[in-house]
Amino acid sequence: MKEATFTVLDLEQFVPFRLWHLSARMTKAVGRIYAERFGVAAAEWRALAVLGRSGPMTFSELQERAAMDKVRVSRTITTLMQKDYISREVDPFDRRRITLALTEAGKAVYNEIVPHILSVERDILASLTPDERSALGQLISKLEDQMAAVGPAENEEP
């Protein structure tokens, strides 16, 4: 009987795995700040960051921009409302349309967290020259464009 052969995957050199692993480590480094110092979970911070950057938006817009599934967004909104970090406003002309926005407390925690995570990002990128940081940004953009061309993004958790 003939033995089956298979192609061996060198996982440590496989770019999607390397990027995932790097992203997970970077997220953990940043996550320590918003979790330990501010009591905000990763999904909560992602929603706060999107709303803080873009302003009020609908549930669907938040779901798309935060790249989270419906259940995760729904739970996150509930938690953030309990913490008084976001508010929900029903459109008086279309009661199905709900707009989410940061409250004053949400803006305050967002503004407190941002300088800390930007500092961590600077530390992470400190080993790169300015030209390398620019090249990295360009390469990431190129890969994002290619992924958009390959197929539509699903709202998946990274």
Please provide the DSSP assignment of the chain as one string. Answer: -PPP--PPP-GGG-HHHHHHHHHHHHHHHHHHIIIIIT---HHHHHHHHHHHHH-SEEHHHHHHHHT--HHHHHHHHHHHHHTTSEEEEE-SS-TT-EEEEE-HHHHHHHHHHHHHHHHHHHHHHTTS-HHHHHHHHHHHHHHHHHHHHHSPPP----
Is a pLDDT exceeding 90 seen at residue 3? no
pLDDT of res. 97: 84
Is a pLDDT exceeding 50 seen at residue 149? yes
Q: What is the pLDDT of residues 74-130, one digit of tens each?
A: 999 999 999 999 999 987 888 888 899 999 999 999 999 999 999 999 999 999 999
Is a pLDDT exceeding 80 seen at residue 152? no
Please provide the DSSP assignment of 41-77 as one string. Answer: -HHHHHHHHHHHHH-SEEHHHHHHHHT--HHHHHHHH
pLDDT of res. 45: 95
Q: What is the pLDDT of residues 8-54, one digit of tens each?
A: 888 889 999 999 999 999 988 888 888 988 999 999 999 999 999 99
Is a pLDDT exceeding 50 seen at residue 157? no
Q: Which of 119, 102, 106 lies closest to 30, judged by CA?
A: 119
Is a pLDDT exceeding 90 seen at residue 66? yes
Taking domain 14-150, whether its CATH number is 1.10.10.10 is answered by: yes
Within 10 angstroms of residue 107's Cβ, the number of other Cβ atoms is 15
